[in-house]
Amino acid sequence: MNCEQQMSMLIKVQEMQFVALELNLYLDTHPCDKDALNDFNCAVEMLKKYKQVYEQEYGPLLNFGMGGYAQETWQWIESPWPWEM
């Protein structure tokens, strides 16, 4: 089912986003932790890749210009929305 494939691609984004978020919060209270900084950058790298793969198939994850160039149609309005998935 199309939605299942979309969810299996999205979960990779969610996982890596979560790693980046956790390290972000950790770095807010431990700003000098070099290991955390390096791991954060690794997470950012992976997150970029997973986002690109997902967005190519299903459209932008971010709005207001943060999601890059629009394609021929305005994909932002497309379903499903997160609470419908």
Partner 1 sequence: MKKELYKGPKQMWMPDGEEDEDYGGMKLAHSYVPWQYYDKAFSPQVALMKGTLFPELYGVYMIPQ
Partner 2 sequence: MWIYQKSLQHPVKVSGPDLKFAKTVITQYGGPDGELGASLRYLNQRYSMPTGQAKALLTDIGTEELAHMEMIAAIVYKLVEGASPKDYEDAGWAGQYAQHNHGLFWTDANGVPWCASYIACLGDPIADLTENMAAEQKARVTYEHLIHLTDDPCIKDTLRFLWEREVVHFQRFGEMLNTVQEHMSKSNMWCGCGMKK
Output 48 or 71, the one with its CB closest to partner 1.
48
Residue 55 touches partner 1, criterion: CB under 8 A: no
Show the site string, 22-61: x = touches partner 2 by CB under 8 A, - = not.
x-xxx-xxxx----------------------------xx
Residue 63 touches partner 2, criterion: CB under 8 A: yes
Token pair of 27, please?
């770095």
Contact 59, 75 (CB under 8 A): yes
Residue among 40, 35, 41, 43 at smallest CA distance from 13: 43
Give the list of residues 6+ apart from residue 76 with CB closer than 8 angstroms, or none: 59, 60, 63, 67, 70
Which residues contact partner 2 by CB under 8 A?
Answer: 7, 10-11, 13-14, 17-18, 21-22, 24-26, 28-31, 60-64, 66, 76, 81-85
